[in-house]
Every structure is written in C-alpha cells, then in structure tokens.
Amino acid sequence: MKHMILALALVAACGDNLPAPLAYTDPSGGKLRLVRDGKSSAKEIVLDLVVGKQPLAGYSVGFDLPLDDTRVTFGGFTPGTALDPGPAPVAAMGALPDAGPLAHMLVTAQSHKATANDADTTLAPGTVLYSVTLDLGAGAPKGIVFDGTAAGFVLPSGGMRDRSGTAVVEPADVAIGKLVVNR
C-alpha cells in the first residue's frame, strides 16, 4: 500500500511533465526528410516525408525503413497530392509486413500514375509527399523503434527517381529522425 501511495504521489507531482509514450526527434538536413506532423499525439506518430531545403524534380519517391515492430503498429498511409498517384488503383502504398523479405520494415512508395502525369514534377522545399502513421503497440516496452540519427545509419533503399528512373535522391540523402517509446 505504501508503494502505491508513493507512486500516486509521484504521478500527481509530475503531472504533464512525464514524457510522451511515443517521442520523435526530427532529423536535420536531408534532401528528403521524415518529420513529425502536427496531427501526432502521445500514442500515435504521424510522419510526413517532405522535400528538404532545395527544390527537387521527380516522379516517384519511397523508402524501406527497418524498425522494431514490437513497439509500434502500422496505423496507415496517406498519399500526398504533389506527385499525383491517380485514381484506383492508386500508385501509392505503405505497409509494415510481418513476414517475408521485407518483414519488420516500414515500406512506403508513391509515384505519379502514368495516366495522371507523364512528366517529372518540380517540388518546392517543405512539400509533403505522403504521410505514415505509427501507433504505440499494446504493452510496448521502452526503447528505440528506429534511429536514423545513429552514426552510420543509411536506409537500405529509398529516395526519389525521375521519370526515366534516374536517382534524384539517394538513400543516404533521406534524413530520418529517432522514434522511441518512453514508458
């Protein structure tokens, strides 16, 4: 009973000063950046893939990000409109496979739909290409979900390509932040 009273007193004293269960640190730099969207909450992180400080001209974009899926679940993928993915079937997707060669990877991609646009699009700095939502897993243990800020971190694949398939942005130029579970 004494420990329960002490724990309740600690929670009351800390109030809103406790860290959010899910916390994301935006990356610095990058031709493409994965940044926290304002729609995020303590238990749901919405991450936008945005154009960095320089304009880019491209046709398709995406990445495969290894992560610890014991801590988060895939909450959804929202295509952007800057690279028109066209109508059904939409040329955009996001998934977190639990089996196969891409298991435990956040897999995302979006492309112009050939019927919607057959040319590269110039994208201004800050343009949102698409959004990915990750939810706090039930009973998720404290720890790192992914850390794009770690020394030597490079995405296994990702970036942007133009209409001819030439890389405009290489995986090393996609800046990824750090997502942790704090509880």
- Provide the pLDDT for residue 20: 76
Q: Is the pLDDT of residue 119 over 50?
A: yes
- Show me where the domains of the chain are located: 19-181
Given 2.60.40.680, 3.40.50.11290, 2.120.10.30, 3.40.50.880, which CATH number is that of 19-181?
2.60.40.680
- Identify the bridge partners of residue 180 per DSSP, sorted by sequence position: 23, 144
Other beta carbons within 10 Å of 8: 10
Average pLDDT of the chain to the nearest whole number: 89
**Tokens 């066209």 -> residue:** 86
Encoded tokens for 55:
């304009």
User: Distance of CA 126 to CAs 33, 34, 47, 51, 144, Å?
Assistant: 9, 11, 13, 5, 27
Q: Could you read off the pLDDT of 62-103 as tens digits, one per residue? A: 999 999 999 999 999 999 999 999 888 899 999 999 999 999
Q: Is the pLDDT of residue 179 over 50?
A: yes
